[in-house]
Structure 1
Amino acid sequence: MSCNTAYRTININSIFEKEKQKVYNFGKQILETCKTRQFIQLSDREATKNLAELSLEEMQHACDIVDKRNGKFIDMRLIEVIDDTFIGNSKIYRYKGNFEINDYLVEIRIWIGTDGKFQGIIWGKWKDEYIPYKK
């Protein structure tokens, strides 16, 4: 792909505290289940169908990768929010994760739709510049 798309960053202070807290709590809850292995099942009211149907095996696998590389999850800090409402009808929250081992900086990326439903959560290597994941 040769075309570069500019992504609009939303001023974090312009987002309602209630929404920021909802996204933070969701991400923290998901990552803390890696410690307890008590995975939560999301309802269709909270999340899109694809996210609500995530299997326990898929969650276990994702947690195993993070646990092996980074140890236990401690917390996460919001770095930026990307406006993806033009293409993907969502906002993308980008957090830097704090783990027992931080040799490999982790980005925790959470999508929330304009309808307030969670559309996805992934984690991977932190990059300072936002690069969209290929679906």
Structure 2
Amino acid sequence: MRKFILIICILTLFGCKTKNVNGKLIGKSIDTSKLSTEQESQKNKAYELGKRLLMTCNTSKFKPFNKSEATDKVIANSTEKKVKEIGAKYSLKYGHFKDLEFIEMIPNKTDNTNIFRFKALFDYDKANKELRVTMNAANKISGITTKDWKDEYQ
């Protein structure tokens, strides 16, 4: 019986450790109820900025990010022309963008950022898209990507 309990304890310890994804130390995902106030404010900012980006699918108008919202790299990569092209493509393929649904926050221990995963909701049922917003310690977007939706973080 003691060996069984010891084995269960060891397996639990291994199950709770951080994992290495694409060369980055990724912590265990955190759901909405366990976010700190700082993480909650980052989540709200990530939601607002991500929604503003995807609303381009409906309106074809994009207000570029400023230096207080995003890093220079993100500002350079999210030009109005690129965002409008992607928005038009998504609008044709998936219909109108409705909203974002927060799924989880994943702390990235390698570069001290938080990755917020949102499920993008569109008119068509076949639209299974994910929006990932990476927020750095300065509370700025350091990365924003859309991917096909998968339940597991990869």
Fold similarity call, TM over 0.5: yes
| 2:54 partner letter | L
Q: 29-38 or 73-82, which moves further after superposition? A: 29-38
Tell me whether 22-31 or 10-19 shows the greater mean CA deviation. 10-19
Does residue 39 in structure 1 map to residue 62 in structure 2? yes
Distance 2:117 2:130 in 1: 7
Matches within 5 A, 1:27-106: 27-53=50-76, 54-84=78-108, 86-106=109-129
How far the C-alpha of 1:111 sits from its partner, in A, is 0.8
Structure 1 counterpart SS, 2:55: helix
User: After superposition, where does 1:109-128 map in structure 2 within 5 Å?
Assistant: 109-128=132-151
**TM-score for both structures, normalised by structure 1:** 0.84
- Over the matched positions of the two proteins, sequence identity in percent amounts to 28
Structure-1 separation of matches of 2:140 and 2:42: 11
Residue of structure 2 aligned with 1:5, choices 20, 24, 38: 20
- CA shift at 1:5, angstroms? 1.9
Give 1:20 shift. Answer: 2.1
Counterpart contact for 2:128–2:148, Cα < 8 Å: yes
Consecutive unaligned residues of structure 2, counting only runs of 5 or more, are: 1-18
Give the deviation of 1:58 after TM superposition.
1.2
Q: Which amino acid aligns with 2:20?
A: T
In structure 1, give the amino acid aligned to 2:69: E
| Structure 1 portions without partners, runs of 5+ | none
Greater percentage in helix? 2
Would you identify which runs of 4 or more consecutive aligned residues in structure 1 move more than 3 Å? none
Contact 2:62 2:83 in 1 (8 A): yes
Equivalent residues, number: 127
* CA RMSD, Structure 1 to Structure 2 (Å): 1.7
In structure 1, the partner of 2:42 is 19
Counterparts of 1:128 and 1:11, CA distance in 2: 14
User: Who wins on radius of gyration, i.e. which is larger?
Assistant: 2
Instruction: Write the deviation string for residues 40-92 of structure 1: whole angstroms up to 9, x where unpaired.
Output: 111112110011122222112221221122111101111111111x2233111
Provide the secondary structure at the position in 2 that maps to 1:10: coil
CA distance in 1: counterparts of 2:45 and 2:67, whole angstroms = 16
For residues 15 and 22 of structure 1, the distance between their equivalents in structure 2, rounded to whole angstroms, comes to 14
Counterpart residue type for residue 48 of structure 1 = T
